[in-house]
Structure 1
Amino acid sequence: MAAQETQPKRGRPRLTERRREQNRAEIAAEAARLFVERGVAGTSVEDIAEAAGASRRTFWHYFSTKEEAVAPLLVHALGRAAEAFEARPEGEPLLEALGRAMIGSARAGGDASNVVDIVRLAREEPGLRRVWLQATSDLEMRMVDAIAHRLGVDSHGLAIRVQAAMITSAIRIMTEEYAWHGDEYGENAGSILPETLRLVGEGFSPGSREA
Structure 2
Amino acid sequence: MGLRETKMERTRQFIAETAFDLFVAQGYDATTIEQIAAAAEVGPRTLYRYYATKEALVVSFVENGLDAAMAAFEAQPEGTPLSEALHAVVASVEHTITTNPARLLALYEIFDRTTSLRSGLADLDWSWRRRLAQEIMRRSGGETDSLFATLTAASTMNVIEVVVQTWTASGGTVPVGDITRATLELLRSRVIPIPAPTG
Aligned-residue CA RMSD (Å): 3.2
Q: Which of residues 152, 157, 166 in structure 2 aligns to 1:177?
A: 166
CA contact (8 A) 2:16 2:60 kept: yes
Q: How does 1:152-171 map to 2 (within 5 A)?
A: 152-153=141-142, 157-171=146-160
Where do residues 132-211 of structure 1 align in structure 2 (5 Å cutoff)? Answer: 132-153=121-142, 157-183=146-172, 185=174, 188-201=175-188, 209=195
Aligned-pair CA distance for 1:156: 7.3
Matching of residue 44 in structure 1 with residue 32 in structure 2: yes
TM-score when normalising by structure 2: 0.78
Q: Residues 81 and 105 of structure 1 are in contact (CA less than 8 Å); yes or no, is this contact kept in structure 2?
A: yes
Equivalent residue of 2:135, what SS?
A: helix
Contact 2:97–2:104 (CA under 8 A) maintained in structure 1: no
Distance 1:171 1:132 in 2: 14
Q: Which runs of 5+ in 1 are unaligned?
A: 1-12
Would you say 1:15 and 2:3 are equivalent positions? yes
Please state whether the residue corresponding to 2:142 is helix, strand or coil.
Answer: coil
Look up the match of 2:19. 31
Name the % identity: 26
Aligned residue identity for 2:11: N
Rounded to whole Å, the distance in 2 between the matches of 1:152 and 1:49 is: 47
Deviation at 1:140, TM superposition (A): 1.4
In structure 2, C-alpha distance between the alignment counterparts of 1:208 and 1:69, rounded to whole Å:
37
Whose Rg is larger?
1
> Does the Cα contact within 8 Å between 1:71 and 1:132 map onto a contact in 2?
yes
Question: Hey, what's the Cα distance between the residues in 2 that align with 1:127 and 1:86?
Answer: 31
1:69 and 2:57 matched: yes
Residues of 1 paired with 2:144 and 2:46: CA distance? Answer: 37
| Unaligned runs of at least 5 residues, structure 2 | none
Q: List structure 1 segments (4+ residues) > 6 angstroms apart after TM superposition.
A: none
**Native 8 Å contact 1:77 1:115 kept in 2:** no
2:44 corresponds to which of 38, 51, 56: 56
Q: Are the equivalent residues in 2 in contact too, given 1:144–1:155 (CA < 8 A)?
A: no
